[in-house]
Amino acid sequence: MNYSLNRQQIKLWRLSIYFIFALPGFSMASWVSRTPTIRDTLGASTAQMGWIIFGMAVGSIVGLMSASHLIAHKGGRFVMVTGLAISSIGLIIVGVGGSWFVNSIIVFSGLAVFGFGNGICDVAMNVEGTAVEGVTKKSLLTGFHAAFSVGTLFGAIAGSVATKSGVSVPIHITFAAVVTVIFIIFLARFVPKGTGKEDNDDSNEPPMSARERMAVWKEPRTILISIIVLGMAFAEGSANDWLPLIMVDGYNVTPTMGSFAFGLFVAAMTIGRAIGGLLLDRLGRVLVLRISALLAIVGLLIVIFGGSYEFATIGIVLWGLGAAFGFPVGLSAAGDNPRGVAARVSAVATAGYLAFLVGPPFLGFIGEMIGLLRALIVVLITVTIAGLLSQAAKPIGKTNN
């Protein structure tokens, strides 16, 4: 798609995408912050809560798989607005089901709706992000993903305040949903219409058919980039789900110290993504991916074999910095070819989310047998594979990295 935008319009488009990336993080943290209350209200066991949360995984995968077709027909802006509106409805259903009706099936259904909306929005906003990169000729996707982390932080703070203030779950969740919808409606006006839409207006090539969009899953480059993203997303997701427990069980520290270690990881990853654009423009994708994989490998080795909590925290910082780049850089690489950009970004995003959703439970299964600390060797292997395949992310048609 060709864009006839002046400098001010491009600036507003770029700024709006930063805020849009923050909105799903805010929504997700709003739900996560109230999970203890919802679990207690439902009287659900840990295993039952796991099955309830699985509803979000189901919805997310369906959304990710559907996104490329929706974007191809309606464009990224429409799908972002629709996705966040749907996820907000799902959030309200979760709040009502987990408080007023006290019904686990309603909560499961709400999470499925929430996951679907987030899934299609995630692909659409990454398609928009790659389009902004193309127009500005700058590496921005890592910064956009840092904005997601900032949104998560604000959502967590708001959830903590609501919990301490005794605000009921439905009121808190509904407030978060309304805020999300208001922001996306306001921000959408600054986003060009039709990003990622397949038509004949701006290209000599015919639009991709549904079969062609599915065929991108077989492209060697897309497969290799998906493996890179899968490996690095596994490194990120395993920390998000298990790091506090890994430190508590592996180093015999208090839960507070385990939470502090997780905070270090999140801070390191957010800082890495915030400065990632500068590094990518100077060093190129391939070198950045190799360095990030190396940092994650060294960090994981320190955490696994460090021997002391203090030394392990250094490893956690390196692990967080290393895990910061794989997902956004892989999505940026998937968007190199404007034709079929939504299909490729969808395929790579799906690989990443599979790592987020399936990887941590698998790590828990391994950890049950050999301990969570030693189970990180599996993460070490996947990150090493991702680093070895980094060359696949080289920009199309360029001799440099």
Whether residue 361 has pLDDT greater than 80? no
Of the pLDDT bands very low, low, confident and very high (cuts 50, 70, 90), residue 231 is very high
What end-to-end distance do the CA atoms of the chain give, in Å? 25
- The stretch 156-169 carries a mean pLDDT of 88
The candidate with the shortest Cα–Cα distance to 58, out of 108, 112, 105, 106, is: 112
* pTM as predicted: 0.82
Q: What is the pLDDT averaged over residues 369-377? A: 88
- pLDDT at residue 227 above 90? yes
Query: According to the model, what pLDDT value does residue 204 have?
Result: 55
pLDDT, tens digit, 9 for 90 and up, residues 165-181: 999 999 999 999 999 99
What confidence tier does 206 reach under pLDDT thresholds 50, 70, 90? low
Q: Residue 392's pLDDT is what?
A: 93
On whether the 7-207 domain is CATH 1.20.1250.20, my answer is yes
Other Cβ atoms closer than 10 A to 384: 16
Establish whether domains 7-207 and 213-393 are of one fold.
yes
Q: What percent of the chain has pLDDT over 90?
A: 47
Look at residue 84 and tell me whether its pLDDT is greater than 90.
yes
Q: In terms of CATH architecture, what is 213-393?
A: Up-down Bundle (1.20)
Once rounded to an integer, what is the mean pLDDT over residues 65-72? 88
**pLDDT beyond 90 at 216:** no
Average pLDDT over residues 69-85: 93
Domain ranges across the chain: 7-207, 213-393
Cα gap 39→98, rounded to integer Å: 8
Flag whether pLDDT at 369 surpasses 60: yes
Across the range 231-251, mean pLDDT stands at: 86
pLDDT of residue 377: 94
Poorest-pLDDT segment among 53-62, 133-142, 243-252, 390-399: 390-399
Tell me the torsion sign for CA atoms 239, 221, 341, 117. Answer: negative
The Cα–Cα gap between 120 and 40 comes to 31
pLDDT for 315 = 97
pLDDT category, 104, cuts 50, 70, 90?
A: very high
Nearest to 376 by CA among 303, 314, 298: 303
Residue range 185-191: mean pLDDT, rounded? 96
Closest CA to 251 of 323, 302, 299: 302
Q: Are 353 and 58 in contact (CB under 8 A)?
A: no
CB burial of residue 128 (10 Å; 0-12, 13-18, 19+): buried
List the single range of 35-49, 127-141, 277-291 with lowest mean pLDDT: 35-49
The per-residue pLDDT for range 322-334, each reduced to its tens digit, is: 999 999 999 889 8
Q: How many CB atoms lie within 10 A of CB 238?
A: 28
Among 21-35, 95-109, 231-245, 370-384, the range scoring the smallest mean pLDDT is 231-245
pLDDT value, residue 68: 85
Q: What is the pLDDT of residues 306-317, one digit of tens each?
A: 889 999 999 999
